[in-house]
Chain A
Amino acid sequence: MFRYLKALGLAFVLVLASCTQVPKNVHDLNVELNKAEKTLNVAIKTNRELYLSGVITIAIRRKVATVVDVANDKLLGVVAIAKNLTDANFASSKGQINIALQAAAAALRAGTTGNATIDALLLSAATALDLAVGLTASIRANDILPTLKGELASYFDMATLFETRSLVKGEV
């Protein structure tokens, strides 16, 4: 009976650890960055369609393409930084992320054209970037850091872990 309880405990901790490898606020940041990128992607495609249909001028098409390119570059930079966040680079990376997100949002807001469709898309992307700034602020180093080993070591000593693992293997 005790064996089963230990195995159950290990399974619970392993499931818990795998679920918390990417904390919710970090995942939410990924989701928000993805929404901003999706919106930029639709904005650049719509910009082209509107120009080809004669709704906007070449000057507007270029203006929109320029601000989307600026925001897109910054956003891709943010995704790359977020992907490589570690304990050592956490503080400086978080600062870089915030600066880049705010610059991207500002570029999009400065790029409005008077065309309702384009402006709505640019402002929607800017809003998603604002939300991402808020989420970034809520992320603490501890959200990035928890290593599986550290988590497990706080619940079980390693000898018990190995024993339990072999017991689990014997049962399946």
Chain B
Amino acid sequence: MPTLDTIIKDAAGIEGAVPLILGLIAALKKTGDTRTSEEITADTLAMGAETSEIAKEDKA
């Protein structure tokens, strides 16, 4: 699996890619998440709906 540095280097210069990945890393490292389980579930479903929409467009 590529290292974090490789990933960032690979994505460097590509508009939008680096902020997305850095945002993801920050989100995954986030501590002290105060959301309840219900809120987490709602967020997951909302993100899933967005992912689904983009994936369906890009499959075509």
Contacts and interface: CB of A to CB of B under 8 A. Distances in A.
Contact of B47 (A37, A49, A55): A37
A30 B41 contact: yes
Given A31-B33, A73-B52, A117-B7, A50 B1 contact: no
A3 interface: no
A79 interface: yes
Contacts of B16: 45-46, 49
B59 A62 contact: yes
A66 interface: yes
Interface in B11-59: 11, 13-17, 20-21, 23-24, 27-28, 33, 36-37, 40-41, 43-45, 47-52, 54-59
Given A49-B14, A115-B10, A116-B6, A65 B28 contact: no
Nearest to B49: A76
A133 interface: no
A161 to B, nearest CB: 26
Q: Is the interface of B mostly helix, strand, loop or mixed?
A: helix
Given A38-B27, A75-B48, A83-B41, A55 B14 contact: yes
Contacts of A62: 58-60
B48 A79 contact: yes
Nearest to A52: B15
Contacts of B28: 35, 38-39
Given A37-B51, A44-B55, 15 more contacts: A30-B37, A38-B28, A40-B47, A41-B47, A41-B50, A41-B51, A49-B17, A50-B14, A64-B58, A65-B55, A72-B52, A73-B52, A76-B45, A116-B2, A120-B2
